[in-house]
Structure 1
Amino acid sequence: MRPAGSGSTATKRPKDRKDRIALVGAELFCERGYHGVSVDEIAAVVGISGPAVYRHFENKYAILVHATRDVVGALLAASAEAPDLDGLLRALAAVAVSRRRVAGLYQWEHRYLTPEHRQEFRAGLDTIVARLTAPLRARRPRLAAAPARLLANAALSALGSVTTHRAAAADTEDLLTRVAWTLLRADPPKLPVKPPAEPAAPPVRPSSRRELLLIEAIRLFHRQGYHAVGVEDIGRAAGIQASSVYRYFPSKADLLAAAYYRATDRLLGATSTALAEAADPADALGRVVRAYTAFAFGQSDLVAVYLAENNNLPDEDRHQLRGAQRQHVEEWVGLLGTVRPELATADARILVHAALNVITDVGRLGRYDRTSGFEAQTARLALAVLHA
């Protein structure tokens, strides 16, 4: 019989258990959404009990904070030792690919982190942007600080796009690095001098209560996140009692599904119109890119919900709507393959996801301004990605 304290494997904890818990948590958060994962489920994948998790983390939120710090820390470490701009892009691409199952947490910071941790997270990303911007301006001395930062952010968006899908190419890192270089060499969209002006009068309220509820639900889901919004909040925003909401939508999940079907239908309509009006495949590719950009800029609340909340859809709706999202991507992939027949289909798919990500991320930087030419310039940036 082995004496107590003699190093029995029954009681010895691995030194990396805390990091392992955070990694599993991050993977599950990205796969199923933060609110769709419990501490017990994280523990089961790690191979420990639920209470054992609390020896390392106070709660589930602490796991999220640790995981986001780990992602940013990996990017900071990789970017700190790069010898030049090319080495910097390659190092960041390597981190994005190696951590693609967890790096998607960067898209959540505004939604789930407290202001304190959000500021910390943004400070880390700002440091990475600055590390890209300095050598970029050294190469392009006529480039002012703001456009240089925009291009650096666009390059990071392209690198980060690999976290939004599961497609892989023969050498994904090289392809992403090439895309990032294309963006850093591009003519930057001109950021609006000031935020877009608010309408002089509030928009016309729809006469249909169902339509009003859907509009307010989309707005609140975008601003606060699906789980932070209650049916009472939606009813209050629409000016009706919460009990009356259920006359139009059986549940909050049905409101979310209605938002997704709306986005899918409108995107399909815009794409179909673009294709019908095209003279040839190259023209068609340009038109669908511009149509998606117009959709993203013109309905930014709806697009934000469409991109962020699919884990909260009812199972049947999620399956159907993810199929529609894949079809939209494959429409672009098919067009790109026709325009660039030398391109492998897997490479085309990586480029399409990168272009889509750049449109939405750059749009946020310019507050989706439609009055200064920013929308058209962003579409041209996305087209440059597709031709990288």
Structure 2
Amino acid sequence: MFCARGYHGVGVDEIAGAVGITGPAIYRHFPNKYAMLVHATRELSDTVRTTVDRALADSDDPRTQLDSVLDALATLSVDQRRVGGLYQWENRYLDAAHRAEFRNELGALVGRVAQLVTALRPELSAPVARLFTRAAFSALASLATHRAPISRSRAADLLRRAGWALLTTDVPVPSSLSSVRPTVPVEPLAGPADPAAGQADGNNRREAVLATAIRLFHLHGYHAVGMEDIGRAAGLHASSLYRYFPSKADLLAAAYHRAADQLSASTTASLGSAASDQDALRGLVESFVDLTFSQRDLVAVYLAENNNLPERDRHELRKIQRLQVDEWVRLLIGVRPELSPSEARVLVHAALNVVTDLGGSTDPAPPDAFRPVVTALALEPMRRA
């Protein structure tokens, strides 16, 4: 229910009703809703770790072990499709300690699989093997980010092959990445915005308010941020915000329209300058990478807060999102006509997830250090899976 409707969109009584008990009875099992979220993320982590452990126990040969890991995780992704989104969306509602626990668990799993990659490909440095492994994990987990219909067996096979494509990729990697140590993501505190923003007039001030709201929505989630928080961070009284946006919901809608407009503009530019479907597809990937890396807060909010949009905007924006994906799918089928539309859609979402996961990360290096590599990595599952 958290994944389908958002953490704040689900009440304790609804959860109790879904499992056939009364609201008060649920507190015999969990002290509050937050405890359920912590338990759910731990359960997801435990399931993934156990799956990897079992796959690694099958053999001592790195290639066989990697094949077993990819096959097991692809199958798990299909089986856990309805709850897998916890890793991407809902863990931001955890407090700092629980968030670190979740990330450390995922980081440890990435490290174990990356060791197999370096054993199989000794020419790779540890940071580069880790980068390829993280990309593979993102592709494998991507099924939880969309609802495109596809058979279970075909989905598992596509995801497994996408993982292999990313682990065996020969995309060029800057030598500077070879000596970089993994870093731990540091989340900035939500302090005041640039003082100049508070002195801006008209459209400039409106832009400053919107940028501040997007940053806070990304850091804390839409429901945890009030107009007072946005005003304080923007250097304005909360009452002044209503000159520019009638409500917090209108701020969120403005953020979505901003992202949709930029994606539409980049799509038009890519299609207009391309000489072939392959050129157009690469152009779409490059423009999406540029947007993701240059406006991480905006893209993160665009991906995570759909359920909180006002009804009047939700349907329109979902249609825009589908049309964007449809364009990628059309081009991919033009490049690889052997793919069915459902297969192409799964691979497109895998590519999108690789970009958004790596674009908001500092592992194995500050994002701009490996930004040029991400375009090539995103193309790999669509090209070879």
Q: How many residues align?
A: 355
Sort the Cα spacing of 1:255 and 1:41 in 2 relative to 1 into closer, same or farther, 3 A: same
Sort the Cα spacing of 1:239 and 1:115 in 2 relative to 1 into closer, same or farther, 3 A: closer
Sort the Cα spacing of 1:237 and 1:117 in 2 relative to 1 into closer, same or farther, 3 A: closer
Q: Answer yes or no: is 1:104 the counterpart of 2:77.
A: no
- In structure 2, the residue matched to 1:185 is 168
Q: Which of residues 278, 288, 291 in structure 2 aligns to 1:292? A: 288
Select the structure with the greater relative contact order (CA < 8 A; seq sep ≥ 6): 2
Query: What aligned pairs does 1:46-195 form with structure 2 within 5 A after superposition?
Result: 46-82=19-55, 83=58, 84-108=65-89, 110-170=91-151, 171-187=154-170, 189-190=173-174
Partners of 2:195 and 2:235 within 8 A in 1: no
Partners of 1:297 and 1:369 within 8 A in 2: no
Partners of 2:136 and 2:164 within 8 A in 1: yes
For the aligned residue pairs, the C-alpha RMSD in angstroms reads 2.1
Q: CA deviation at 1:366?
A: 4.3
Counterpart residue identity of residue 260, structure 1:
Y
Counterparts of 1:76 and 1:366, CA distance in 2: 22
Counterparts of 2:281 and 2:89, CA distance in 1: 30
Q: CA deviation at 1:79?
A: 0.7
Q: Answer yes or no: is 1:43 the counterpart of 2:16.
A: yes
Q: Which of residues 344, 353, 358 in structure 1 aligns to 2:340? A: 344
Secondary structure in 1 matching 2:147: coil
Counterpart residue identity of residue 103, structure 2:
R
Counterparts of 2:195 and 2:380, CA distance in 1: 36
- In structure 2, the residue matched to 1:249 is 245
TM-score, length of structure 2 as denominator length: 0.87
Sort the Cα spacing of 1:234 and 1:203 in 2 relative to 1 into closer, same or farther, 3 A: closer
Q: CA deviation at 1:215?
A: 1.2
Secondary structure in 2 matching 1:354: helix
Q: Which of residues 29, 38, 50 in structure 1 aligns to 2:2? A: 29
Secondary structure in 2 matching 1:81: helix
Counterpart residue identity of residue 132, structure 1:
V
Q: Answer yes or no: is 1:309 the counterpart of 2:305.
A: yes
Q: CA deviation at 1:142?
A: 1.6
Partners of 1:259 and 1:306 within 8 A in 2: yes
Sort the Cα spacing of 1:370 and 1:66 in 2 relative to 1 into closer, same or farther, 3 A: closer
Sort the Cα spacing of 1:135 and 1:371 in 2 relative to 1 into closer, same or farther, 3 A: closer
TM-score, length of structure 1 as denominator length: 0.87
Q: CA deviation at 1:134?
A: 1.7
Counterparts of 1:320 and 1:371, CA distance in 2: 33
Counterparts of 2:218 and 2:51, CA distance in 1: 32
Q: Which runs of 5+ in 2 are unaligned?
A: 59-64, 184-193
Counterpart residue identity of residue 39, structure 1:
V
- In structure 1, the residue matched to 2:328 is 332
Sort the Cα spacing of 1:306 and 1:168 in 2 relative to 1 into closer, same or farther, 3 A: same
Counterparts of 2:49 and 2:367, CA distance in 1: 34
Q: Deviations over 1:212-258 (max 9, x none)?
A: 21111111111222122110111122222111111211110110000
Q: Which of residues 232, 252, 255 in structure 2 aligns to 1:236? A: 232
Structure 1 vs Structure 2: percent identity of aligned residues?
A: 55
Q: Which of residues 217, 222, 231 in structure 2 aligns to 1:226? A: 222
Counterpart residue identity of residue 348, structure 2:
V
Query: Which of structures 1 and 2 has the bigger CA Rg?
Result: 1
Sort the Cα spacing of 1:286 and 1:204 in 2 relative to 1 into closer, same or farther, 3 A: farther
Secondary structure in 1 matching 2:339: coil
Q: CA deviation at 1:203?
A: 9.9
Q: CA deviation at 1:68?
A: 1.0
Partners of 1:30 and 1:105 within 8 A in 2: yes
Partners of 2:210 and 2:251 within 8 A in 1: yes
- In structure 2, the residue matched to 1:363 is 359
Q: CA deviation at 1:121?
A: 1.5
Counterparts of 1:296 and 1:181, CA distance in 2: 24
Q: CA deviation at 1:119?
A: 2.4
Counterparts of 2:213 and 2:339, CA distance in 1: 41
Sort the Cα spacing of 1:370 and 1:180 in 2 relative to 1 into closer, same or farther, 3 A: closer
Counterparts of 1:227 and 1:370, CA distance in 2: 28
Q: CA deviation at 1:116?
A: 2.3
